[in-house]
Structure 1
């Protein structure tokens, strides 16, 4: 199955971000991608965290979800929409929400939403210079989510969803291993500081310990709001080898994921069957 992870440097302009995402997804489709993954916050990197609240949508309606559904259909892609801000189910749409879910949505090539994952672990960091606290405007999710993709390669791929900071919590990915997942998704917007220290090693560890492919879309560059993100969007095989990557700036990282390689890795080192605890 050919998979594309998208790297962006999203701005404070919603319309320009959607235009850039559409162009990159079109490139991915032209390159033969069957599945494409956008980064976390692909739609907006606002001046303030609370800017997410102003574009929040109820599940099942709104311009961001319409964009994802229409693009998946137009390009013939399975499309995972990085993250968008979603209101809680049943929330009053006439009232500005205090918090929203950081939601990753998976759309099939016919434009149907097949999975909805709410980021479980909310990032907090303070090194005296940089300060982030996602819990100020985000509500934490609580459930792992998978979906099945019936690929053109003849295999049904089970895919586990996660977002950015989640990757520091291996128990989530163990739950996905127990669920029979073959591919782990990690759309992200890692800070430059934490990315430089931990990004690649965390992603490769999640691949190795779960004997699964990992697809990590990313934000990568200097943003209009002054934030700098690490980038290095990458695809990793179950042996922990980096198959393809992009250091910085917007672009498409595209490669073929080989189901037979996954089977071979799990056969020659059946570590998942050796678990005791």
Structure 2
């Protein structure tokens, strides 16, 4: 059993990585002052920019990215586990990767995760997104063990749109995850309809904590994100939430002993059974 304080940092990132890094530093420092051992930032902490030319001018390899470097320095300075929810880093062939970084108290990277599912959608009111035009999708789930507050916990990765694909979280839970994560830049339109429902469902069906830091508000590039950074326990109860879309911090106590207790009470992971499934259509495949 491990007990620690988790902080979810809600941001409103813009087009300048340097300013975003400064905002990250202020909020992370505030979270540490409130006792956080683990701090998570949102998807695209480093830059939110629709202008592709400006976006590409700021794109760097991971080892040279200033926001990643700032996150490593923060983790080292405060001796915390810092989960950079994601930032854009250079990938082959002129593309980018939407990459999460889990950084230990020594400032070294424990694990990385590239967002798997691309947000290619046409919403109501003319809102349309094509992430696959900019980003290379990841190809593997992520699981890492963190040493925190004198104990250890196993953490699974996802980013934003990934939360609509329950098989990803189930695979991580079956591999031992006690905590699931879904840092996001959820649109206001989809967030108002689905944010709480999806995240609570992923926590309940896998008997895991869910930690999701979010972007919030009207951004420099014109997009609007939903905010409501949230921590949820394995029973589906909301432990902490930023109530709205302003920058802020949600602070919650995570006790991994609750995961074991709830899995003993409702052992759905153990009760899974194999079954014959209908043949998938088109390019779809069952995990």
The interval holding the TM-score normalised by the smaller chain is over 0.9
- For residues 154-200 of structure 1, give each alpha carbon's deviation from its aligned partner in whole angstroms, at most 9, with x where no partner exists: 3x200001100000000101110111100011110000001111111
The one of 20, 36, 41 aligned to 2:39: 36
Deviation at 1:53, TM superposition (A): 2.7
Mind listing any 5+ residue stretches in structure 1 that lack a counterpart?
Answer: 92-96
**2:163 and 2:54 mapped to 1: Cα distance?**
25
On the 8 A contact 1:208/1:239 being kept in 2, the answer is yes
Deviation at 1:153, TM superposition (A): 4.9
Deviation at 1:40, TM superposition (A): 0.6
Superposition pairs for residues 62-73 of structure 1, below 5 Å? Answer: 62-73=65-76
Give secondary structure in 1 for the equivalent of 2:170. helix
1:112 aligns with 2:115: no
- For residues 227-264 of structure 1, give each alpha carbon's deviation from its aligned partner in whole angstroms, at most 9, with x where no partner exists: 11011100000000010001221011111111222221
The one of 74, 83, 88 aligned to 2:77: 74
On the 8 A contact 2:212/2:230 being kept in 1, the answer is yes
Give secondary structure in 1 for the equivalent of 2:199. helix
1:20 aligns with 2:23: yes
Question: What is aligned with 1:203?
Answer: 199
Give secondary structure in 2 for the equivalent of 1:221. strand
Superposition pairs for residues 99-138 of structure 1, below 5 Å? Answer: 99-127=95-123, 128-138=125-135
Question: What is aligned with 2:9?
Answer: 6
- For residues 83-104 of structure 1, give each alpha carbon's deviation from its aligned partner in whole angstroms, at most 9, with x where no partner exists: 111223xx4xxxxx52111000
Give secondary structure in 1 for the equivalent of 2:8. strand
The one of 170, 176, 179 aligned to 2:175: 179
On the 8 A contact 1:52/1:85 being kept in 2, the answer is no
On the 8 A contact 2:27/2:249 being kept in 1, the answer is yes
Give secondary structure in 2 for the equivalent of 1:273. coil
Question: What is aligned with 2:285?
Answer: none
- For residues 194-234 of structure 1, give each alpha carbon's deviation from its aligned partner in whole angstroms, at most 9, with x where no partner exists: 11111110000000000000000000111111111011100
Question: What is aligned with 1:143?
Answer: 140
- For residues 123-147 of structure 1, give each alpha carbon's deviation from its aligned partner in whole angstroms, at most 9, with x where no partner exists: 0121351111101110100000111
Mind listing any 5+ residue stretches in structure 2 that lack a counterpart?
Answer: 275-287
1:87 aligns with 2:90: yes
* Runs ≥4 residues deviating over 4 A: none
On the 8 A contact 2:8/2:212 being kept in 1, the answer is yes
* Cα root mean square deviation, aligned: 1.4
Q: 189-198 or 119-128: which moved more?
A: 119-128
Question: What is aligned with 1:229?
Answer: 225
**1:194 and 1:50 mapped to 2: Cα distance?**
27
**1:244 and 1:151 mapped to 2: Cα distance?**
20
**2:107 and 2:255 mapped to 1: Cα distance?**
26
On the 8 A contact 2:8/2:41 being kept in 1, the answer is yes
Q: 253-262 or 189-198: which moved more?
A: 253-262
Give secondary structure in 1 for the equivalent of 2:234. coil
On the 8 A contact 2:47/2:88 being kept in 1, the answer is no
Deviation at 1:54, TM superposition (A): 2.5
For this pair of structures, how many residues does the alignment match? 269
1:252 aligns with 2:255: no
Give secondary structure in 1 for the equivalent of 2:110. strand
**1:231 and 1:270 mapped to 2: Cα distance?**
32
On the 8 A contact 2:43/2:214 being kept in 1, the answer is yes
